[in-house]
């Protein structure tokens, strides 16, 4: 009896006191919905890297299951699924939700705006993170940088663009603010999920599309249909996002919150350098492997019209949406300050190197 009594005491102490003493080590199981399909690298890699880091740093106690778009079947539903708590997290891009609130849009990137290092500096040291949380708090969510593509190419076109007239009636897939800029210039703009891009171009549903850059674009095969590849203007620093349900986040132990934030930030930067590497490799072999690709830059007439359209739209939305105005004025002020340093440190360095070659 004494042995049984002692055994009972041990079991009681283990059951009652041990869980309280290790509250932060409780098991947490989350689900994440991606906007992307399972083969879209490096976007998918970024999410997997983040989830793997969370699991490792938590000793296997915080596990995030990833569902690609082919599983949950609703890329454009990611926002609402995270908001409603069907998924604790999502991975997408803030500008996809501009129809819900225009203030989300500049949190991805803006035409003629910051480069990636400039925008990361704004996010983490220039007030950008605070403004992003301000935008999403009304929706019961948090948003964190989720990986940057760097400067994107201007798109694949079936026909060469020589003037503004060539844009009239053109059917193009292009998201974000750039789509609205081109719509003012006569382009019929649509937003198509990544998995449907090639088929839409092949069938003539669209005449042109903008995706990312050579590292991702070549594998999609767009060059087989639309050989004119234009340099960028529209997305100089496209930042993806990790969406997080606020109630789920608030329930996490402090230790897990820190683990999650560290994992997201590390995975986001890793995507930037991974995609940079992929594009550098693709670009170096593109002319040899794909000699039919014609790399072009938009004529000055077209670029100037784009800038005029952009400025008119920004002015319009600043008047209509106070938070959009606050975010844009913050970005504009920071860009004005940081661009001088970018010019001195990067542009003049590159120019001097090209002049000595």
**What totals of helices (H) and strands (E) does the chain contain, helices first?**
14, 11
Residue 243: name the closest of 38, 106, 41, 85 by CA.
85
For residue 353, how far is the Cα from the chain centroid? 32
Residue 326: name the closest of 102, 97, 83, 100 by CA.
102
235 labeled part of a ligand binding site: yes
Task: State how far the Cα of 306 lies from the Cα of 345, in Å rounded to an integer.
Answer: 28
Kindly give the interhelix angle for 128-137 and 322-342, rounded to the nearest 10 degrees: 160
Task: State how far the Cα of 289 lies from the Cα of 354, in Å rounded to an integer.
Answer: 26
Residue 295: name the closest of 226, 353, 342 by CA.
226
Please say whether the beta carbons of 93 and 59 come within 8 A: no
Task: State how far the Cα of 147 lies from the Cα of 41, in Å rounded to an integer.
Answer: 12
Say which residues have a Cβ less than 8 Å from residue 345's Cβ, sequence separation at least 6: none
For residue 162, how far is the Cα from the chain centroid? 31
Please say whether the beta carbons of 50 and 267 come within 8 A: yes
Please say whether the beta carbons of 247 and 140 come within 8 A: yes
Kindly give the interhelix angle for 322-342 and 300-320, rounded to the nearest 10 degrees: 140
Please say whether the beta carbons of 118 and 338 come within 8 A: yes
210 labeled part of a ligand binding site: yes
CB atoms within 10 A of CB 182: 25
Cite the annotated binding site by residue number.
152, 173, 210-211, 235
Cite the annotated binding site for Na(+) by residue number.
211
Cite the annotated binding site for substrate by residue number.
152, 173, 210, 235
């Amino acid at each position: 009896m004494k042995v049984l009594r002692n055994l009972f005491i041990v079991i009681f102490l283990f059951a009652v006191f041990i869980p309280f003493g290790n509250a932060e080590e409780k098991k947490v199981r989350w689900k994440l919905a991606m906007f992307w399909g399972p083969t879209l690298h490096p976007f998918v890699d970024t999410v997997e890297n983040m989830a793997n880091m969370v699991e490792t740093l938590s000793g296997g106690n915080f596990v995030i299951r990833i569902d690609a778009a082919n599983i949950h079947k609703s890329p454009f539903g990611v926002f609402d699924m995270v908001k409603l708590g069907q998924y604790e997290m999502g991975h997408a891009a803030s500008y996809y939700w501009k129809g819900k609130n225009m203030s989300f849009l500049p949190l991805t990137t803006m035409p003629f705006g910051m480069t990636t290092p400039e925008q990361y500096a704004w996010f983490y040291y220039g007030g950008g993170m605070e403004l992003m949380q301000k935008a999403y708090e009304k929706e019961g969510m948090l948003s964190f940088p989720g990986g940057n593509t760097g400067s994107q190419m201007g798109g694949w076109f079936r026909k060469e663009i020589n003037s503004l007239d060539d844009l009239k009636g053109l059917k193009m897939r292009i998201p974000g603010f750039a789509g609205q800029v081109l719509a003012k210039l006569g382009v019929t703009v649509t937003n198509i999920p990544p998995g449907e891009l090639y088929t839409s171009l092949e069938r003539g549903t669209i005449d042109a599309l903008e995706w990312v850059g050579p590292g991702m674009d070549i594998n999609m095969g767009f060059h087989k249909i639309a050989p004119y590849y234009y340099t960028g203007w529209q997305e100089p620093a496209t930042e993806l996002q990790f969406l997080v349900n606020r109630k789920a986040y608030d329930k996490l132990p402090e230790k897990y919150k820190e683990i999650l934030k560290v994992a997201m930030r590390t995975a986001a930067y890793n995507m930037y350098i991974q995609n940079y590497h992929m594009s550098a490799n693709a670009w170096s072999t593109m002319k040899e492997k794909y000699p039919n690709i014609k790399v072009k830059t938009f004529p000055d007439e077209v670029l100037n019209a784009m800038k005029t359209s952009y400025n008119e739209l920004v002015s319009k939305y600043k008047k209509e949406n106070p938070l959009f105005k606050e975010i844009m004025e913050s970005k504009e002020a920071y860009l004005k300050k940081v661009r001088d340093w970018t010019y001195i440190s990067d542009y003049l360095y590159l120019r001097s190197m090209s002049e000595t070659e």
